[in-house]
Amino acid sequence: MRRVEEYGMVSMHSRLFSALFYALLFLVIVGLCGCGGGGSSSPVTVVNSPATLSSLAVSPSNPAIAVATAQQFSAIGTFSDGTTQDLTSQVTWTSSAATVAGIAQSGKATAVAAGSTTVRAAVGSISNSTTLTVTPATLSSLAVSPSNPTIAAGTTQQFSATGTFSDGTTQDLTSQVTWSSSVGAVASVASSGKATALVVGSTTIGAAVGSVSISTTLAVTPATLVSLAVSPSNPSIVVLSTQQFSATGTFSDGTTQDLTSQVTWSSSAGTVAGIAQSGKATAVAVGSTTIRAAVGSISITTTLTVTPAALVSLAVFPSNPAIVAGTTQQFSATGTFSDGTIQDVTTQVAWTSSSAAVAGISQSGKATALAAGSTTIRASVGSFSVPTTLTVTPATLSSLVVSPSNPSIAAGTTRQFSAMGTFSDGTIQDLTTQVAWTSSDGAVASIAQNGKATAVAVGSTTINAAAGSVSNTATLTVTPATLSSLAVSPSNPVIATATTQQFSAIGTFSDGTTQDLTSQVAWTSSSAAVASIAQNGKATAIAAGSTTINAAVGSISNTATLTVTPATLSSITITPANATIVAGDTQEFSATGTFTDGTTQDITNQVNWSSSVASSTITDINGIYIIYAGSSSIITAELYGLSATATLTVTPP
């Protein structure tokens, strides 16, 4: 900088030296010519002195730039002869507040912090200045991570959003951006950035703050197997008997499925018991073995113990039952062994019927009555054989009773109905699985053939059970879905003292639907000294600390933690800064507050908005909308003595 000043002074000294030189030269010429007093007259030569610097002009005038950006200034000199010259690189440049912006001797100023400084250009005693205003750093771009993830249906993915600002700093904006999913049926995304995969497909997850946005693709693959369960657990059987195992899989979407025939079954000790791929194990010798069910990397085990006990006795149940023709009777066989254990051997005995014309019986022990009469049902295993008599009556069904008679359930829930038949011989039999079930209004509730009704929508429907010409009904009333759970968002926000935070409460109902209950829940704050909360869900920060925000409807509630920092508002920024619309249209403005701890917050609904044109109307509904009936105006946002402005230009329609 010193060299630049010296160069400028040398330039000025050169001009002064030239002027003195020509003045002396003029005097010498006059002397030589005898032009002094009393001498004879001679021609006089007049030498003009060089032009001197009259003024400086600095441009641009009063510019405004953001933190971490630069502004090139220029200095134009005007001389006494009316000529001008670019003196940008010759003047001495200074900044009155180097902590706001510094300036190089090339005239380039670099913004350091928000504020204003006087930029001055000087050559000797000639100078001029202008004001440089530095505004807070603005959001330049957003980055979302992870990029293009793939998850299974029923699982979740947490996304994060990082903002890069004009001053080169970055900030986690995950809880401040607006998250969206282009295909909500494939995956939903909460305001916290957590996406929940629903069905197979792909969706675009978007994050936006004002006009700055970014997106990534979330692919949802079919639900994956999470765990296996084997039953029965740790059974004990005797040598030469069998044990049927079953395998149930639980998937990432919460559904379960019988995988008995799909898993790979194995026995750690085949000499004790082997197992078929159907899941049936056969005891070979006394001991124990580990039975394993596996699908890929998912597996589970149980222990099968084979005892040496011998069968002592066999019992068949029920004893001597009577049923009507066309119905069924399930028999069971229980074996008592020499070690005192009792085991269900229904599927291991051999079942026979002495009169297949009266009733037949399957190897699972289920007898089907065909015609009136009686037959001997026999269970046999080894040397043991136990008979019982099954009587088939010609009785006919007289009536049906459906129960419950007039139940009421909430939408999305189920109700089990039963049908009891009374026959002409006075006997009563459970016919729930044998009658034909129907619902008069399937849009209100459907019913399966096992008698289980599923409520679909509010209303009433007639549930009918019929066996031939005999039937009976019940009225099922479906009430509105009941609230199952609440979700409060944002979950863990951080705001500055004296600012506000809008919370929302989303309820999930028994029918799977969701509803915004923000204005219906009861809001409370565990520490009113830190923050209070109104019944519209808007919390107001009072002092630094943390408080638990609770939303409740009856016995259903959920919470979020609100952290209040001691930061205070340092500046306000309006977006957009300059807008142009057609008369009669609307323009939404937003206000962002920058606090003393460097954080930013959307304070659109907290500032006081005003317009320089009285015919403009300002309405605070989901942001600030300006309805214009006039021409251009200055829009002002003011809070706590700080303010910011934006220009709105209105063109004819």
Specify the amino acid at residue 387: P
C-alpha angle 308/313/314, rounded to 5°?
110
pLDDT single digits (tens) 522-547? 999 999 999 999 999 999 999 999 99
pLDDT at 2 over 50: no
Residue found by looking up tokens 């919390």 in the block: 539
Enter the tokens of residue 275. Answer: 């197992």
Higher pLDDT, 466 or 617: 466
Taking alpha carbons only, the member of 434, 506, 494 closest to residue 465 is 434
Specify the amino acid at residue 290: T
pLDDT at 209 over 70: yes
End-to-end CA distance of the chain: 55
pLDDT at 48 over 90: no
Specify the amino acid at residue 571: S
pLDDT single digits (tens) 311-326? 889 999 999 999 988 7
pLDDT (0 to 100) of residue 49: 66
pLDDT (0 to 100) of residue 100: 94
Q: Which helix (H) or strand (E) holds 21?
A: helix 2-32
pLDDT single digits (tens) 485-499? 999 999 999 999 888
* Cβ-Cβ contacts under 8 Å for 612 (sequence gap 6 or more): 633, 634, 635, 636
Residue 166's pLDDT band (boundaries 50, 70, 90)? confident
Q: How far is CA 238 from CA 271, 295, 307, 334, 335, in A?
A: 14, 29, 5, 13, 11
- Domains, the chain, ordered by start: 2-135 (2.60.40.1080), 139-221 (2.60.40.1080), 225-307 (2.60.40.1080), 325-393 (2.60.40.1080), 397-479 (2.60.40.1080), 483-565 (2.60.40.1080), 569-651 (2.60.40.1080)
pLDDT single digits (tens) 68-87? 888 999 999 999 999 999 99
pLDDT at 465 over 50: yes
pLDDT single digits (tens) 132-152? 999 988 899 999 999 999 998
pLDDT at 11 over 90: no
Is the Cβ–Cβ distance between 233 and 305 less than 8 Å? no
Residue 582's pLDDT band (boundaries 50, 70, 90)? confident
Burial state string for 348-360 with b = 16 or more CB within 10 A and e = fewer than 16: bbebbbebeebbb
Is the Cβ–Cβ distance between 561 and 492 less than 8 Å? yes
Residue 649's pLDDT band (boundaries 50, 70, 90)? confident
Enter the tokens of residue 577. Answer: 């800064």
DSSP state of 517: -
pLDDT at 622 over 60: no
pLDDT (0 to 100) of residue 219: 95
C-alpha angle 552/554/556, rounded to 5°?
55
pLDDT at 8 over 70: no
Taking alpha carbons only, the member of 130, 65, 54 closest to residue 94 is 130
Residue found by looking up tokens 């730039």 in the block: 65
Enter the tokens of residue 576. Answer: 């957009």
Q: For 497, left (φ over 0), alpha (ψ -120 to 50), or beta? A: beta
Residue found by looking up tokens 């933690």 in the block: 561
Taking alpha carbons only, the member of 491, 569, 504, 493 closest to residue 531 is 493
pLDDT (0 to 100) of residue 42: 39
Enter the tokens of residue 515. Answer: 């509803």
- Alpha carbons 612 and 215: distance in angstroms, whole number: 38
Residue found by looking up tokens 């066996």 in the block: 467
pLDDT (0 to 100) of residue 33: 44
Residue 615's pLDDT band (boundaries 50, 70, 90)? low
The percent of residues in the chain predicted with pLDDT above 70, rounded, is: 89
pLDDT at 367 over 60: yes
pLDDT single digits (tens) 421-445? 988 767 788 999 999 999 999 999 9
- Alpha carbons 442 and 455: distance in angstroms, whole number: 9
pTM comes to 0.35
- Alpha carbons 423 and 412: distance in angstroms, whole number: 36
pLDDT at 6 over 70: no
- Alpha carbons 478 and 50: distance in angstroms, whole number: 103
C-alpha angle 512/517/520, rounded to 5°?
135
